[in-house]
Amino acid sequence: MGFLKEVNAMKRVLLALALVGLGVGAAYPQVDNLTGGVFIFHSPPGLVYTDTEDYCATYATQWAIRSCDQQNPRVDSEDITVWYVLAAWDSTKHFCGVEFGLGAYDPDICGFVDNAQCPASAQIIPYGAWPGPGTGVSMAAAGEPWDGNFIPVYFFAAYAYAPGLVPLSVHPGTGFGGFANCLTPPTSYPAYCFGAMGLFMPGVPCCPVYVPQHVCCVGEECYLVSEEECAGMGGEWHPEWYSCEGNPCQPTQPHVCCVGQDCYLVLETECAQMGGVFHPGWNSCEGNPCNTPPPTHVCCVGETCYVIREGQCTSMGGVFHADWDSCSPNPCRLPHVCCIGETCQLLLDTECAAAGGVFHPTWNSCTPNPCRLPHVCCVGGTCSLVLDTECAQLGGVFHPDWNSCTPNPCVLLHVCCVGCQGCCLVLETECAQMGGVWHPEWDSCDPQPCDIYTPAEPSSWGAIKAMFRR
């Protein structure tokens, strides 16, 4: 983040003032670990814009979503619609800094009429001609920190004029997009992914990732955190322990001691005197865990693979596979959308990379094809960026090699060859009416470019010249 990477003095001062004003106290590891966070672009269906409403407050009371599958990154209305930028994780978080940008998009496809940070009290530094293409914004909490999940950090009100994508991205001035927690000093966490708003076409959804949490012992205090956060706390991480129940970090608590296949609940020192093996993560001798411990097999938590016991897998919300014994290669990975140009295939990430494609781990279907992109459609002299099927519905001529309506390529005159030496500078539709061959790559009839074509009937050529007289 800009104010964390010290690339901008103003941002450093702003964040420092904001954090001092918050009076940050003790850390709460679960809520301060911002790993796996994402930026979601969401437009609530049915929300009508008025210039008198507080849209940050309106979201919380009427339009809040609580899961990834409730997001709507698509607008199909010509009226003013409201777009929220949501910060989301796999659980509730607590943070004090936000930084993101808007990527490259055609400014002719939409027009912003309003935009503001959520909440309005947040301090903000825009970058460039915000909110235009290739611009960004940095924010710091000036009062209460952001707290929760799937919560708005910004909103836009905009008209949609033509099909296209408006993507969220990293801040172009710093190369960073993500979040900062409220610790002193704060720690920055890059966003896992960025959504995109689709105008009259599918947008790009973005979902938080699951961050495994295990026991971290800081002295005799027990926390459930990620390995990275445990290291930052100076603690000892125990990936084999999944619960702080009974506080396995306190050696004064009795836990399971296995002396051979006999089970005892004793202190660690007593277990050592008995010549046993102390298990601080086990709190009960019920079922005698010392006599044939439960077998370990593959547990899939999303696409993350562990070889653990079934009970541990269940406590993590995973799927236990008793017939799988190895995570190499990872059997939990699933094929997702791989865009090879505009061709969609369901592949693994490694297969997609070998094919030279772009892997989309949050997209799971090629129906309809999410890889297709809008290109130029000429309806007479009117240019639109749409899909080929939409162009056909409009009765237009689709140009898959043209990607911009600026300048308008549909009103440019190009060479139309009708017979030997029958050269005209006309529109494509006019050339089609004449039965000619249109050459958008040729802009002049001097020198004569049409000599290679078969002569047309004299009467046809005369009618053509009389029609266009060019």
Residue ending a domain, choose from 140, 166, 199: 199
Q: Are residues 70 and 123 in the same domain?
A: yes
**Residue 171 pLDDT:** 96
In this prediction, residue 154 carries a pLDDT of 98
- Rounded to an integer, what distance in angstroms lies between the CA atom of residue 399 and that of residue 409? 10
Residue 467 pLDDT exceeds 90 = no
- Which of 11-15, 193-197, 414-418, 449-453 has the highest average model confidence (pLDDT)? 193-197
| Together in a domain, 245 and 298 | no
| Exposure string over 194-210, b if 16+ CB within 10 A, otherwise e | bbbbbbbbbbbbbbbbb
Q: Is residue 71 one of the residues assigned to a domain?
A: yes
Domain total for the chain? Answer: 4
Residue 333 has pLDDT above 90, yes or no: no
For the stretch 24-30, contacts whose Cβ atoms lie closer than 8 Å and that sit 24 or more positions apart, written own/partner, are 24/96, 24/182, 24/183, 24/184, 27/183, 27/233, 28/94, 29/216, 29/223, 29/224, 29/225, 29/229, 29/233, 30/91, 30/213, 30/223, 30/224, 30/225
- pLDDT recorded at residue 130: 96
Model confidence at 5, pLDDT cuts 50, 70, 90, reads very low
Is pTM beyond 0.75 here? no
* pLDDT (0 to 100) of residue 250: 76
Look up the CATH number of the domain holding residue 41: 2.60.40.680
Residues 152-172, mean pLDDT to the nearest whole number: 96
Would 133 be classed as within a structural domain? yes
Task: Reply yes or no on whether the pLDDT at 455 is more than 70.
Answer: no
User: Picking from 100-114, 125-139, 383-397, which range would have the lowest pLDDT averaged per residue?
Assistant: 383-397
Give the separation between CA 454 and CA 417, rounded to whole angstroms. 10
Assess whether 144 and 252 both reside in one domain: no
Does residue 387 lie in a domain region?
Answer: no
Task: State pLDDT tens for residues 255-290.
Answer: 888 888 889 998 887 888 898 888 877 778 887 888
- 68 and 165 share one domain: yes
Same domain, yes or no, for 54 and 182? yes
Q: What is the mean pLDDT of residues 321-337?
A: 86
Sheet holding 375-379: strands in order across?
A: 382-386, 375-379, 397-399
Can you point out the beta strands (E) in 193-301?
196-199, 214-218, 221-225, 236-238, 255-259, 262-266, 277-279, 296-301
> Of 273, 293, 313, which residue sits at a domain end?
293
pLDDT of 23 above 50: no
Selected residue with higher pLDDT from 19 and 345: 345
**Is the domain of 186 the same as that of 38?**
yes
Pick from 83-87, 171-175, 302-306, 343-347: least confident: 302-306
In a domain, 354, yes or no: no
Question: pLDDT band at 25, cuts 50/70/90?
Answer: very low
Residue 26: inside a domain: yes
Note whether 257 and 111 are same-domain residues.
Answer: no
Place of tokens 């008209």: 159
Round to whole Å and give the CA distance between 188 and 97. Answer: 8
- Whether the per-residue pLDDT at 86 is higher than 60: the answer is yes
Q: Is residue 380 part of a domain?
A: no
pLDDT at 104 over 90: yes
Which residue has better confidence, 448 or 377?
Answer: 377
Identify whether 144 is part of a domain.
yes
Higher pLDDT, 221 or 150: 150
Alpha carbon distance 235, 217 (integer Å): 5
Nearest in space to 423 (alpha carbons), one of 381, 467, 453: 453
- The C-alpha atoms of residue 279 and residue 272 are separated, in whole angstroms, by 11
Q: Which of 327, 343, 377 is a domain's end point?
A: 327
pLDDT score of 421: 66
69 shares its domain with 178: yes
Of residues 368 and 12, more confidently modeled: 368
Residue 392 confidence (pLDDT) above 70: yes
> In this structure, are 262 and 176 located in the same domain?
no
12 lies in the same domain as 74: yes
- List Cβ neighbours of 378 (8 Å cut-off, separation of 6 or more): 396, 397, 399, 409, 410, 428, 429
Q: Read off the pLDDT of each residue in 323-351 and give the average, rounded to a whole number.
A: 88
Note whether 175 and 241 are same-domain residues.
no
> Across residues 15-37, what is the average pLDDT?
53
- Check whether residue 7 and residue 150 sit in a common domain: yes
Mean pLDDT, to the nearest integer, of 35-49? 92
pLDDT at 166 over 60: yes
Structure-model confidence comparison of residues 14 and 276, the more confident one: 276
Tell me the pLDDT band of 452, cut-offs 50, 70 and 90.
Answer: low
Tell me: pLDDT of 465 over 60.
no
pLDDT at res. 180: 94
* Segments forming the whole domain that contains residue 6: 2-199
107 part of a folded domain: yes
Name the strand (E) or helix (H) holding 13: helix 9-22
Q: What's the chain's average pLDDT? A: 83
